[in-house]
Amino acid sequence: MDLLSIIGIVWRHKLLAIPVVLLTLAGAFYVIAIKAPVYQASSSLLLLSPPGPPSAAQIAANRKLAKIDPNNPYVNFGDLPVVADAVIESVTSNTVEQTLVDEGVNPEYQVVLSTDFGNPPIIQITGIGSTAAAAMRAASLVTSTSVNDLYQIQKAQGVNQIYMITATELVKPTTAQTSASGKLRTLIAVLGIGALLLFTVISLAEAVKRRRSPGRLPVSTPALAAGPAPADLPREASKSREPGESRDPREWREPRAPRYSRESRESREPREVRQSERPRDDRRGADLPPRNGVGAEEHYSERL
């Protein structure tokens, strides 16, 4: 089915298609012109490694350092991106997300690991809001939650605060910008729903039309009505055909007389007739009548 066929089907059901199209266009106009814009505010956190174990000189200078355990299991991983992934998993969990939503944060906030190559890793945070102030507030709340979660997961392992991995805020959410992607996603959703609704309405209309229309036989297998064969129809019956309609050549043939062979003709004649006839070459028979008063035998002897 090509594009012209699809347009033809839609136009055939225009009374049903036009309201759906108008409703879809109204939804698109609302998303573009009336719906409030979406604002985004961004911030970033840089993870810093903790100091190493104290040296002997440091312990001699400060005896308290000898009583502090410098072990940090997250530092033993030897890779800070692992710690960053743990923080992201914690901030985006359902429990923390619900806590942020209760504080007025849009649940569409994003916390991802920066793709920029380098060590230590950077966590990118994006706050979403219907206004610029709401977006900046959301980014600030998510940032502070990330720092607190980094502290809590290390505290749960009994890491001393001196030897904890820390995070410093590189970029603060001081500005917010409108996001075109938010409206674009909504617009695509509205257009997709409109196209699906139009397809459903047209399909139902076509199904109802086919059920109401009488059944038709395929063109390739026409139904033949019961009746005499075309050869038995009179010649006048062919005059009722429309111009350009195919004709059967057998309807125009004149009836011919049956042809019989000599054997079949003799077989059809009565026995008495066949016995009375004689072959033309048989002129010596005694039963032949005399010609000019001369018998057959005498006439034959004179010819010899």
pTM of the model: 0.55
Average pLDDT over residues 136-152: 94
Could you give the residue ranges of the DSSP H alpha helices within the chain?
3-12, 14-29, 56-61, 73-76, 80-91, 94-102, 132-155, 180-212, 262-268, 271-276, 296-303
Dist. CA 304–CA 298, nearest whole Å: 10
Residue type, 272: E
- Cα 216 to Cα 61, 71, 202, 219, 220: the distances in Å are 104, 86, 22, 9, 12
> How many angstroms separate the CA atoms of 304 and 215, rounded?
90
Alpha carbons 273 and 52: distance in angstroms, whole number: 143
Q: Write down the pLDDT at residue 186.
A: 85
pLDDT at residue 140 above 90? Answer: yes
- Tell me if 113 sits within 8 A of 150, measured CB to CB: no
| Gyration radius of the chain's alpha carbons | 54
Q: CATH 3.30.70.1130: which residues of the chain?
A: 38-175
Q: What is the pLDDT of residues 193-244, one digit of tens each?
A: 999 999 998 899 888 888 887 655 444 445 444 555 555 445 544 455 555 5
pLDDT higher than 70, residue 246: no
Q: Is 247 helix (H, G, I), strand (E, B) or coil?
A: coil
What CATH architecture is 38-175?
2-Layer Sandwich (3.30)
Percent with pLDDT over 70 in the chain: 68
Tens of pLDDT along 47-64?
A: 988 888 888 887 788 887
